[in-house]
Structure 1
């Protein structure tokens, strides 16, 4: 199995890069599908799970437990339960043995036994703000300050989850095979050289 994991800063284009790379290589792609699976198996509202796993939020979202609807803070033990469920699902996907790209979720750490090619996508703040604006929902009107606050909040949540799972290392160059700075660059145009690098890497490491 050939496995690529993509860590990313919020607004850096990591999700788009992962999807385009998977399409180019003919690999399966997993991102939001993991959130849906975790929500279903843990009987939690999918929006809440997305906020928890993607953005590090633990308040402000509704959640369901055994079909009851409520608001509030998920107890710490349930937070860990969701993370454990996510880990289980990711490992089950890897065990199938299909070539795939997995975005986020600290999959590079969870699946280290499979020796994945690990990427980290980052960008300068100005570029991330611009990319967030280009991808904003219709009617969304946020100031630069509000966007920057959101970017920092999301990335802090991702770093926190990495700390829980692996003891740190989120965004540190030593943790990844390739770090990609997308500042001011077209993700589409970056894919061919990254795909070439991935193919070279797998030829070199696959027996």
Structure 2
């Protein structure tokens, strides 16, 4: 069985960078945007549309729980289900092939039977705003109020999409093996510490299997 790490994160917490650096530290594969590309290809949709549905909860009028059966779907809702099915398939196929780090996409729930090491990355609003401004496009000029609203909207969408595929409450510490507060912490210095923790977790898991 592969050693799999899933990284869930608040917007602006540095979770994506930490996930990539963690994969580099451990010498394992890293999957993020590649999953979205594969989903779009399999469902014959654009990456933009797949992202809107799977990451940003574009279907506010529907409550969809993966694995439940429904007697009727509108074409739009059915397409959302098709995207979730493809997402599940792609993530499982990637995880079966190699040790890896997967960022987002509800992988902690999708791969529950594979017993992954689940991480949640969070930070205070000030730190998240600072990271967002560092990485913002040159033509983006949001006020503090606008940026705070954007961060909260993205996090709310991530929570909603998690609920679409599971009963896991996004961000609830009970569903993660490690929660990391990156407020004021440089990601390059944090990743090696998380890597060591993950190594010990997998060693202990193997010892008591």
- TM-score, scaled to structure 2: 0.88
SS in 2 for 1:120: strand
Q: Is 1:125 matched with 2:125?
A: yes
The aligned counterpart of 1:193 is 193
SS in 1 for 2:171: coil
Measured in 1, the distance between the counterparts of 2:28 and 2:58 equals: 31
Q: Please say if residues 55 and 161 of structure 2, whose CA atoms lie closer than 8 Å, have aligned partners that are also in contact.
A: no
The aligned counterpart of 2:20 is 19
Measured in 2, the distance between the counterparts of 1:40 and 1:174 equals: 35
Q: Is 1:155 matched with 2:188?
A: no
Measured in 2, the distance between the counterparts of 1:24 and 1:10 equals: 23
SS in 2 for 1:206: helix
Cα deviation 1:59-109 (Å, max 9, x = unaligned): 9xxxxxxxxxxxxxx81221121111101111111222x110000011011
Q: Please say if residues 109 and 168 of structure 2, whose CA atoms lie closer than 8 Å, have aligned partners that are also in contact.
A: no
Query: What displacement does 1:58 show?
Result: 4.8
Cα deviation 1:15-50 (Å, max 9, x = unaligned): 000000001100100000011111111111112222
The aligned counterpart of 1:57 is 58
Q: Please say if residues 56 and 154 of structure 1, whose CA atoms lie closer than 8 Å, have aligned partners that are also in contact.
A: no
Q: Structure 2 regions of 5+ residues with no counterpart? A: 61-74
Q: Please say if residues 56 and 153 of structure 1, whose CA atoms lie closer than 8 Å, have aligned partners that are also in contact.
A: no
Over aligned residue pairs, what C-alpha RMSD do you find? 1.6
The aligned counterpart of 1:85 is 86
The aligned counterpart of 2:32 is 31
- TM-score, scaled to structure 1: 0.89
Q: Structure 1 regions of 5+ residues with no counterpart? A: 60-73
How many aligned residue pairs are there? 193
Q: Is 1:138 matched with 2:138?
A: yes
Cα deviation 1:93-141 (Å, max 9, x = unaligned): 1222x11000001101110111111000001111111110000012211
Measured in 2, the distance between the counterparts of 1:55 and 1:10 equals: 12
Measured in 1, the distance between the counterparts of 2:156 and 2:115 equals: 26
The aligned counterpart of 2:41 is 40
Q: Please say if residues 159 and 168 of structure 1, whose CA atoms lie closer than 8 Å, have aligned partners that are also in contact.
A: no
Task: Describe the shift of the 1:202–1:168 C-alpha distance in structure 2 as closer, same or farther (beyond 3 A).
Answer: closer
The aligned counterpart of 1:3 is 4
Q: Please say if residues 37 and 89 of structure 1, whose CA atoms lie closer than 8 Å, have aligned partners that are also in contact.
A: yes
Task: Describe the shift of the 1:77–1:111 C-alpha distance in structure 2 as closer, same or farther (beyond 3 A).
Answer: same
Hey, which bits of structure 1, 4+ residues long, moved more than 4 A? none
